[in-house]
Structure 1
Amino acid sequence: MPNIASALKAEIQRIARKTIRDETSSLRRAIAPYRSEIAALKRRTQVLEQQLRRSRKAVSRVEASPQGEQEPSGVRFSAKGLAKNRQRLGLSAADFGTLIGASGQSVYKWEEGKSRPRQKNLAAIAAIRSIGKKDAQARLQQAG
């Protein structure tokens, strides 16, 4: 015959577990929407932080460029177009750089797409697009 004390103890534990399970089940049901809301808020926070970083970058770029240096209207830059224009004129990168006020190394980097010309250089590049070989050679003679 089982010990009455151990049987009583087992029954008390069973009833206690049942009561705790009933109490916590309502809490678990209440927690589920909170967890999904927290996850949604975390996602929203992440999106907002990304937007903030982008806007800070944009503001720092605007602050870094001087006010007088605005992009000339209609001037576009293409690395391939720059290389073709330089070859059309029959100029080395150093000579082309002399014409626009930059170094030959800068011209190479622009043509490879590793960097982008500044606004003042873009205006000079746009002006050089319309000249021919003879005019380019004449300008080089004057510059050098």
Structure 2
Amino acid sequence: MTTFADSLKKEIARVARKELRDEIGALRKTSLAQRAEVAALKKQVKALQAQMNRLGKLKPEPAREAPRTASAASAVAPRGKPGRKVVFTAERLKTQRARLGLTQEQMARLLGVSSLSIWKWESGGAAPRASRVPKLLELLALGKREALARVAPEAP
């Protein structure tokens, strides 16, 4: 009787595997199609994110209002870039003057102020008037040769 029971169990297992094979094949096809669709959607999302980044760089963000203080009063908009303000800082003036290779006296002559004013601005003891800031920022944007050329004719 054990041989009959073993034969019956083997036959049931064989039929079950045959039935499952068809079901598993259908599931594999569905799974493969879903994976391909997910991969395509990931590519599409990546392309859309790249497009958003490009568009974000083209469109400037609206300017945020800063509280009015002595240093904020010296903020001006740079060369035609709407929504972005450049603020005068003593450290920036000092590093740019050193980069240009100018002395405090030469910088003062270029700006039409005293060398004491330059020293106070660089040390943070004072801030330039709002009327001086555009010319100051223009001077900071110059190259070394151009700045030295402007100083040379004024030298005694």
Which is richer in helix?
A: 1
